[in-house]
Amino acid sequence: MTQTDEQTDEAGTGVTPSRTDSAEGNPRGPIPTGADPSSADVSTSGPNRPATNPGDDDDRDTATERYDVVVIGAGPGGYSTALRAAELGLSVALVDEGATLGGTCLNRGCIPSKAIITATHAIGTIRRAAEMGIDATLNGIDFGRLRSYRLQVVDTMTKGLAGLLAHRGVTVFRGRAGVVADAGSAPEPAPDGRPKTDPVPERKVRIERAAGADAVERFVRAGVPEPLGDAIDLWTGAVVLAPGSAPRPLPGSPFGGALI
């Protein structure tokens, strides 16, 4: 289903009932416990906004919100999942600890490396220009400008991704996330006050301040951070883990810098 006005709640808050909510006729209040109340006004930024819950959580100092899907990791695996889930009408939170979205691929991998490769192709083309009857000479390489070009390409891509996510109604959080509770250990009743009868068990994802950040940040609008303090808890029926990967040394053969 595409995003339409039908998905917006009747009260006009812009908070979209999840599919489960709609089926059970359960309106959810726009009350982010401990968070800036103005952040509940998300009506201008897309229809797939989360339900925010009253704070009958085990940790009353920690703000809570509820999303149909919480995606951990905003690399290609995570952001494509978040975009698709939002396209299907689900409320989606996308969490990454990095200062910019896009993960390894956009920030350090595919995109910057291809920017450099494009530049080296240009150098090669100029060097072989005479073979094609073109009189061109390579007078030098300005590595500072080459670096700026690479950064600009990355900046364009990461900002474009942030804009696309906001346009689709995905709420982005900057912070380090972890799944801290599932149905077995979640407090009763469920965070919205109902008895825990959902066929899909609720899970709690805690987001804490990323290294080097002053607070957990929420982005409803691209490039506009809302500081939320040291932590926020997200309740959800579905957690998607897309945290990327890290190299692992072979037993007995630790990585040795330039030596393998």
Ligand X SMILES: Cc1cc2nc3c(=O)[nH]c(=O)nc-3n(C[C@H](O)[C@H](O)[C@H](O)COP(=O)(O)OP(=O)(O)OC[C@H]3O[C@@H](n4cnc5c(N)ncnc54)[C@H](O)[C@@H]3O)c2cc1C
Query: Residue numbers of the site for ligand X (CB under 6 A)?
Result: 72-78, 95-98, 103-105, 108-110, 113, 176-178, 242-244
Question: Residue 171 belongs to what H/E stretch?
Answer: strand 171-174
Rounded CA separation 165/157 (Å): 12
Cα dist. 78→65, 85, 92, 101, 166 in Å?
Answer: 20, 11, 11, 10, 15
Q: Which of 92, 96, 62, 94 is closest to 229 using CA atoms?
A: 62
- State which residue, 75 or 191, has the beta carbon closest to ligand X: 75
Residue 15: is it exposed, middle or buried by C-beta count within 10 angstroms (0-12/13-18/19+)? buried
Nearest approach, Cβ of residue 68 and ligand X (Å)? 19
Rounded CA separation 57/246 (Å): 34
- State which residue, 34 or 98, has the beta carbon closest to ligand X: 98
- State which residue, 86 or 190, has the beta carbon closest to ligand X: 86
- State which residue, 9 or 226, has the beta carbon closest to ligand X: 226
* DSSP-derived secondary structure for 31-59: --TTS-GGGG--TTS-S-BPEE----SS-
Nearest approach, Cβ of residue 229 and ligand X (Å)? 17
What is the SS3 assignment for 201?
Answer: coil
Please check whether residue 65 is in contact with residue 53, taking contact to mean a CB–CB distance below 8 angstroms: yes
Nearest approach, Cβ of residue 48 and ligand X (Å)? 21
Please check whether residue 236 is in contact with residue 93, taking contact to mean a CB–CB distance below 8 angstroms: yes
Nearest approach, Cβ of residue 170 and ligand X (Å)? 15
Nearest approach, Cβ of residue 62 and ligand X (Å)? 17
Rounded CA separation 103/154 (Å): 11
Instruction: Enter the tokens of residue 97.
Output: 């600890």
- State which residue, 35 or 72, has the beta carbon closest to ligand X: 72
- State which residue, 28 or 79, has the beta carbon closest to ligand X: 79
- State which residue, 63 or 95, has the beta carbon closest to ligand X: 95
Rounded CA separation 195/126 (Å): 70
Nearest approach, Cβ of residue 205 and ligand X (Å)? 9
